[in-house]
Structure 1
Amino acid sequence: MLLPNMKLKVPECEPHIALDHAQGELCFVSHAHSDHTSAVRSLKPLFATEETLHLANAKTAHPIPKNISLLGAGHMLGAAQLFARLDGQSLTYTGDFKLSPSLTCKGAQIKECDTLVMESTYGSPSMRFPSREEVLSHMEKWVNANSSKNAIIFGAYTMGKAQEIVKFLNDFCGITPIVSSRIDSICAKYEELGVRLLRVRSGTEESNEMAKSPFVAVMPSRSVNLQFGSSLSGALNMNVLTALASGWAHSFRLPVDRAFPLSDHADFSEMLQYIDSASPKKIVCALGRGEEMAMHLKKLGYNAIADSQIGERIAMQATLK
């Protein structure tokens, strides 16, 4: 999710810093998902982690400004939070984050701050997920029970989630999956960054041979649904099961044979855990259900507002009072 038009003004850092968009003199790119990398495509001056720069194909990077540091966000490989400090005042912009570690990156770091600008994708008390360990265990049992007699097609976001699913299949199930050409290209970038991912690129002689008997594949989520599985079943002359791994599986019936609530975002419980550890004086709820999250936090006694209530600029002098 994107925080539209919000800019951060830090004293002694002359440019307004655009947070995950390109409408600023200097841009912070929190991670490499395409809805956060408009600054890369616009060739704007930007800063990010080395992993994000590599995954987003950024040609150049601006030095991280004075008074700003980057913290791990746990959303995907290279994802970062922005932490700004001046004269004893501090602000954290989380971007998309997750506290629990995944198979391809560590969980989010937390620093105490005066103002917390926090993503609220799952900013509702109803959005509390099972533990990651429990979800992965259910996935492992399902794959092991079905992979010998069926083709299994996992749908996943091309960058981030797809690589975690490949890593899961490698490490938990001992399976080397077929992957789409785009997912394979990003897996190669992950390997350049130190994450080993065993897979076979679709369209190769090896993948064509694998598809003659039950196999497991990871494909872009937009392509994977029950209709796709049925069509592929006829083409391959074998039963095909489809699956998705998404936090939305917790609340919605997704159009696949099996859905698992494996999210790369913090759920409501993790958001509260983050707030408890960061001890902010003020919370700006953004990136999703900001107004709903702010309402619930106010009921719990926090000084919280939605990003829609503050306009497009956050000035540390004003926000941190």
Structure 2
Amino acid sequence: MIEVRAEGGIHLPQAGIWLDPRTARDFAFVSHAHSDHIARHRRVLLSGPTSRLLGVRLSGERVEEVLPFGAPRDFDRFRATLLPAGHVLGASMLLLEHEEGSLLYTGDFNLRPGIACETAAWAPAETLVMETTFGLPRYRFPPTESVIASFLDFCRETLEEGGVPVVLAYSLGKAQEALRLAADAGMSVMVHGAIHALAQVYAELLPDFPTFERYTAGRVQGKVLICPPSAAESPMVRRIANRRTVSLTGWAMDPQYRFRSRCDLALPLSDHAGYDDLLRLVEQVAPRRVLTVHGFAEEFAADLRARGIEAWALEGRNQLDLPLRITGPSATAPGPTPAHPEHETSPPGPLDGFGTLCEALAATTSRLRKIAHLAAFLENLEPADLRRTVAWVAGNPLPGRAGRRLQTGGALLRRAVAAAARLPEAEVRVATRRLGDTGLAARELLAGRTRPEPWSFAATEELFEALAGARGPVERTDLLGTALA
């Protein structure tokens, strides 16, 4: 099979080409024109639309090998065929054929029918290198039709009430999808300057692309305004007093996203494949080996291995690198029986064992026993959860983020528990004093008042990140209360 290396990017040394490297290389495949996939390479392999969009986003000279979709071309050491990836206009997968085998590199991709781009296509290959941005089961997106209906209803209702719907969407791809959806529904659309030049390329390349205008102060009333997320708190947007904001992103599947983004509505309209479509692509390509990159790469690779497919995170730590038995994250460490065992606060989940571990560590002063408890627990973890556990047990909820704190003191925790349990905060204080611990009080008060759900290491890490980035105690209380509810 073709050799694949992670060397500050994805490198195919036998073919002499790099795949979407972020630093300048001699010869690179550029799957699409998002800023995190482009650099000043000397020579690039790309699709025609990506070439046009790249010209808008990145100045300078380069040698461009432009391939139409589905037309193979022979290079010095390999044959290349580009296939549409369904991510943004011009986004492409690379089917590379070499004497050592075949490889399909997806870049960012999306299998749902394109709203403002080509619909994805794929081909069988021995090696599949795939992006896994949404590689967890909780990222099973709802039907696109229902999300679009909610988006259009939001825009119509806001306009009917005399407001201005402000749509937060990435400048390339999502913004043009929102533009087409709103315009095709009969609404006038105005776009932020960062979106305008890219939308003009769409209009040139797609004959049926709708009309739009660039944002002009004082003329936005009665129109849908589309802005990049970075403009959400800009003076331009803040001056629109009667605005209502909607964010279009796959991360809207996370309950805390709306609070973190400070928008009125968050809808999971994604230009990446959701979990089910990631599995579907693997099934369709039928590779002998899968290499995952980006997002939840380690977790998705582990899921594939559990299904009997050879799969490894290309840039992560897989269990081949660890002298541990990998038997699943829900294994528990030896320790005392938790307090209040009669309260089944949630179905068994990946964090159950971590809670038991912490109780076992707290119950002994013996250093050797602590080491034994830790060793028994760590050997049962996937690499991503191993990293999190080591950091958390050491008292660092945000590994690699020195100086950042969660800022969730006792008062905030009590308010969050009260909100989740729908009880007066005074009742939480009484329970905390009686039990001597806010956690035990939360366990007692939430039992029977919230819907139990398993909770994962990854979800906990995301919550910690959201809490650390929250703007003030009110937002942190909302985030924590939502997680507990």
Gaps of 5+ in 2: 1-5, 67-72, 319-485
Q: Do the aligned residues in 2 keep the contact of 1:100 with 1:106 (CA within 8 Å)?
A: no
Aligned to 1:157: 170
* Distance (whole Å) between structure 1 residues aligned to residue 232 and residue 150 of structure 2: 20
* Distance (whole Å) between structure 1 residues aligned to residue 214 and residue 7 of structure 2: 35
RMSD (Å), alpha carbons: 2.4
Q: TM-score, normalised by structure 1?
A: 0.84
1:61 aligns with one of 44, 60, 64: 64
Aligned to 2:225: 217
- Shift of the alpha carbon at 1:233? 4.0
2:285 aligns with one of 264, 278, 296: 278
Q: Do the aligned residues in 2 keep the contact of 1:5 with 1:23 (CA within 8 Å)?
A: no
- Shift of the alpha carbon at 1:227? 9.6
1:262 aligns with one of 250, 256, 269: 269
Say if 1:295 and 1:241 are closer, same or farther in 2 by CA, change over 3 A: same
Say if 1:107 and 1:241 are closer, same or farther in 2 by CA, change over 3 A: same
1:197 aligns with one of 201, 210, 220: 210
- Shift of the alpha carbon at 1:301? 1.5
- Shift of the alpha carbon at 1:160? 1.1
1:302 aligns with one of 303, 309, 320: 309
* Distance (whole Å) between structure 2 residues aligned to residue 105 and residue 62 of structure 1: 21
- Asked whether 1:26 is paired with 2:27, we answer yes
Aligned to 1:292: 299
Write out aligned runs for 1:1-12 (5 A): 4-10=8-14
- Asked whether 1:122 is paired with 2:134, we answer yes
Which amino acid in 2 is paired with 1:222? S
Q: TM-score, normalised by structure 2?
A: 0.57
* Distance (whole Å) between structure 1 residues aligned to residue 139 and residue 276 of structure 2: 8
2:157 aligns with one of 113, 124, 145: 145
Aligned to 1:168: 181
Kindly indicate which of the two structures has a greater share of residues assigned to strand.
Answer: 1
Say if 1:99 and 1:142 are closer, same or farther in 2 by CA, change over 3 A: same
Determine helix, strand or coil for the equivalent of 1:61.
strand
- Asked whether 1:37 is paired with 2:38, we answer yes
Say if 1:4 and 1:262 are closer, same or farther in 2 by CA, change over 3 A: farther
Which amino acid in 1 is paired with 2:10? M
- Shift of the alpha carbon at 1:309? 5.5
Q: Deviations over 1:175-208 (max 9, x none)?
A: 12111122111111111112513111113xxx63
Which amino acid in 1 is paired with 2:232? V
* Distance (whole Å) between structure 2 residues aligned to residue 88 and residue 7 of structure 1: 15
Return 147-156 or 91-100, whichever deviates more.
147-156
Structure showing greater relative contact order (alpha-carbon pairs closer than 8 Å, 6 or more residues apart): 1
Aligned to 2:115: 103
Q: Do the aligned residues in 1 keep the contact of 2:168 with 2:248 (CA within 8 Å)?
A: yes
Which amino acid in 2 is paired with 1:48? L
Say if 1:182 and 1:227 are closer, same or farther in 2 by CA, change over 3 A: closer
Number of residue-to-residue matches in the alignment? 292
Which amino acid in 2 is paired with 1:272? L
* Distance (whole Å) between structure 2 residues aligned to residue 111 and residue 202 of structure 1: 42
Say if 1:50 and 1:281 are closer, same or farther in 2 by CA, change over 3 A: same
- Shift of the alpha carbon at 1:300? 1.6
Determine helix, strand or coil for the equivalent of 1:56.
helix
Determine helix, strand or coil for the equivalent of 2:42.
coil
- Shift of the alpha carbon at 1:48? 0.1
Q: Rg: which structure is higher? A: 2
Identity %: 30
* Distance (whole Å) between structure 1 residues aligned to residue 88 and residue 19 of structure 2: 17
Which amino acid in 2 is paired with 1:291? E
* Distance (whole Å) between structure 1 residues aligned to residue 194 and residue 13 of structure 2: 37
Aligned to 1:50: 48
Say if 1:31 and 1:115 are closer, same or farther in 2 by CA, change over 3 A: same
Structure 1 segments of 4+ aligned residues over 4 angstroms from their partners: 225-229
Gaps of 5+ in 1: 312-321
